[in-house]
Structure 1
Amino acid sequence: MGAQRHGFNRSVPAFLRPVFMCLIFSLFAAPHTAAQDAEPSPNLLPGACYFYTDRQDQFPSMLSMTAEQSCDGGVEARPDMVWLSISLRELSPDAKTDYQLVMFRHWVERLVVQLHYADGHMQAYDVGAREFDDFWSVGNFIKFAAPARDARVDHVLVGFQNPSSIKLFREIRFTKDTQWQKKELNGHLLVGLIAGAIIAMLFYNISLAAVLRFDFHLHYCLFLFSIITYILTAYGVVAHYFPGALTVGQQMNITIFSLGLNGLSGLLFLCSFMEKGLLSERWMRLAKAVGVAFMACALLYISARGWHSDTIDLVFNLMSGVGLVVIVSILTSTIRKGSRAAIYYAIGWALPVLGVCLRILRGLDVIPHSPLVEYGMPIGMALETVILSIGIANRISQIRKERDSARLLTEQANAASKAKSDFLARMSHEIRTPMNAIVGLSELMSTTKLNAQQQNYVQNIQVSGDILLTLINDILDLSKIEANKLELEHIRFSPKEVFESVHVILEPAAQAKGLTLAFEDLEALPPAVVGDPTRLRQILINLVNNAVKFTDVGTVTVKVASTTSAGRVEISCSVADTGIGMGPDQQERLFHSFTQADETVTRRFGGTGLGLAICRQLVEMMGGRIWVESEPGLGSTFHFTIGLEPATEKGASLTAGQPQPPSASTDPASLKGLRILVAEDNRINRMIAAKLLERVGSQADFAEDGREALEKASSTAYDLILMDLQMPEMDGLEVTRLLREKGKNTSTPVIAMTANVSDEDKARCFEVGMNGHISKPFKPEVFYDALLTGLSTDAREARA
């Protein structure tokens, strides 16, 4: 019990708890009191007779018309005046006692009441559309006083002008004034508490919705607004405090509108309140459709209401029944799936549903009107707001737990991704260092005198080294993409030059297999665009290289096209081959990491399956897509599209897309005679650097750790310094930073020669003042080009 109280205290705001406790007490006490003290007379409507007359500006005593009345119970709504004739002789009201004629308030344009006393006196009322509020009592009742006289009231005549339906009056009573006052007191208290509590709940939830912005909060606020509007109009609050402001018809229109809005918002709230995944899309569409249909019925009722609207009234009640069936079905399904929100909704919704059922049964004439029918719906609505508010608080708590759990999982995933990236970076560094020895030594060995068998061995070592280096680079690229750390460049370049450079790079491999490599329609490409040429080249090399690898006979054809619209250039490309082809199952798993179309392909052709996965990621980052068309034995065609920006600066230089032949200024021979410091802790890497520098006539000094490198660079002037980043005593970044502050080499070019190849590592190199970056392992031509690029022009000219 204590735990339950604690849950209530946490779910309901403190300032509303006293209101709720008082409300709950009153909801149970007031109806009982009303039923006990305010049942002074039977309902007179079933025994009423009727007759019809034309409309008149004023009506004299209509008692003489009772001679033409009918008592067969077949009264109908008509566009003229419909009169009910009620004899009070069997009721035998007391003389010299104040009475009230009370009737369920109805949608009529005019109501004429004539109270005929036994002594011939007539107490008459002629009520227009805006005058009904003057006779408002409590609930949906209006009252007409029958003042005390020496004679009792014998007969009552009630005339209706343009009634929508006579049976909607439900109830006509002739009761003592003192007894009716007790009913009014209880009714005012009940309606006031209900309206006040729900209004307080509405403003509280509006404030929460403004902060939390949950869809179900918005729907719940709309739901509360409909309840408040219904209570204020249907139970006479507006009529009591603003008499005559609205006609009785307008008030009833608002009442019906609020009921339609209640059905619509209640079903929308049901859909948004349930936990995600428990309610199928089909059920959600059905619930929303029923809500819209219910609202449409309400609007139809309002627009077409009149003396002929019994059919619409029946449809409105039937739609209420359909809505209940849909809600019960949804709640049954979701509760079976363990939905806590559905349990709260079911408990809360069952209370006003009982009131709705009573009203439907009353509308179908299955049960008579009673205080329970009259107040059942607002009582259920008030209790429902309490239960649903607790359910909303529980739902918010559940969502917060889910978000906290999701945040924790995200943090764990990010930590795992970072750990993976760190591991891959470290492993890349550790692998690249011995790889540099393999690549470098095999390159050096290939320049020595070897017999045919030894030359074959060296070539196989070089090919294996290239494959392993490609694998390392692919894994790092994939890791960056998965960690969202890969950023695309945004520079101006010529797409035609990018395609031509790929042709130059892969033409020798195609010719070696006797294949024709053709690039078509390159003239269709725009002269310049803005984007990332490096990643575009990577996509093309991967696709064309695969086409060459999996084709033994025939051609590999690259076709391009481009379109420009809405400030976007879309380049389309296809790479077609006449190779082995693929079946549908193979194509389905083609673009997944570490997957190839056929596992036997790996054994025959090699490869890891990373290339196409990286291509897919890069294409999607460029706002495009990639797909394949293929048939076994008939070859494959890979298609991709990418989106780029048009280049508008005509005078801006383009990024080079095609490798250029070496010029005199970039001839490795221009390195002859340079004095170069090599700071490298790995003995084999020092040996490779020494041999490569010796080959071009440069003089090399060596430092085996960072401190030694700093000492030599501080005392001797060098033309160039090659700096490893990870060394004992002091790392290369710290050495460079200190060199830039003082010493003989403050302006000497420093080039990082390292296995640290991430973008962050490269950025740190340039931040401390380095002039270039050589990634291990490296080819001799890459080594020489990096030295020539980093070397100052003045130093080269001085040594020329």
Structure 2
Amino acid sequence: MQAGKLVLHESGMDLHDTLNKIHSLFANRAQQKDLHFTYTITPETPRYVLTDETRFLQVLSNLTSNAIKFTNEGEVSIHVDAEPLKKGQEYMLKVRVKDSGIGITDEDQKLLFTDFTQLDNSSTKTFGGTGLGLAISKQLTHLLGGDIGVESIPNDGSTFWFTIKVKKANSEEVEAQLQRMQLQNAEAEVLDFTPYVLLVDDNQINQKVAFKLLERLGCRTDVASNGYEAIDRALNNGYDMVFMDIQMPEMDGVTATSIIQEKLGNDSPPVVAMTAYSMREDAEKFMSQGMDDYISKPVKSSDLYKVIMRWHELNWKRDKAGGLTAAIDDDSEDDTIPVIDLAITEQLKEIGGAEFARQLYVEFEQEAGELLEEAKKELEAQQYKSILSTLHQLKGTGFTLGINQVAELAKILEHDIKHDQYDNVRSNFAKLLAQYENYRKTYKEIIL
């Protein structure tokens, strides 16, 4: 590939938002290997910058993917810093991806950024080559006015770094751009039914934006500004879904949710946590405290659409024992919900390229197959709690890749086992195996 064929599309970028996208994309893969995966941005680094976010993500996702792949224990960290240049508003953005993995020899380091290179040592044969991704990353960083390199000691980890030139952006302009994109997305996505939802948020601006997005999707929406209002409205109206802000004065969202679910019991609607970017790592904590799902703030139309459709298409219900079951006819299951959400596949391609996306789905086939084989043995021995970690991994990775039928069934099983509700476990696990097998047989044709 020649650099001249690469096209830049410069726009405003929220660095905190972008780093969170990378963290969210790879958190489950890191967790599966018990790696500590973090990112830091120095206070001196401007939050809003002008650059090509897609190209920036492509480079960073490639380096992050390799770091996790080549690290069996320890940690992977991303560090972002910026150095002001003489032109005032311009900065040299510096990104370092550090791992505690196998390391790279001096001889192999010289070959890393060459087209189609695959390092010919025993460690890399085990993990697979880095290859074309680094060569493209080198071209992209040069196109963005920077460079790329590596510091490594064999058996003592590696630090891949890259730099790009950026301009400091006006925060209001970037936020206005984000809002325009959200509203444009809302126009492209319209529900073919009218869910009745409750929006709970104490921030008036956030409330207005989310209300407008829900309205454009086709929702009938009520608004509450605190936990007490949310409880009052939820107990007196038959909502299909509640979008609940977590951090609110007087009463937080988790407490309000707990009271709503206690009062309404089996009639409680799904409650979706709305979590700030800085709180994404706490999402599973909220889920364990009673929230049924979550989306990130600032809220995006596409996320609202997906979470509403996810619950609507599966027609979830709470049975008399309090367990969650998916009311899907076995005969029509494959016809009503796609094996893979291709919108997510396209997003993954935008972030890291087609080969990067394809490899993620191949890895899911391998990892999920091994996890399910072990889970079958535990299930036969009635060691239900032992498969919770497997279900958690399948749920997280499945939703990340848009393999929603597998992820939803894993979510149902995880919920029921956590709450000692075993009546539907065997039948739902059989459905999970069938959905994985369906994925295994068809995914390569779908994503090509």
The TM-score range, normalised by the shorter chain, is: 0.3 to 0.5
Provide the TM-score with structure 1 as the length reference: 0.24
Q: Which has the larger radius of gyration?
A: 1
Provide the TM-score with structure 2 as the length reference: 0.42
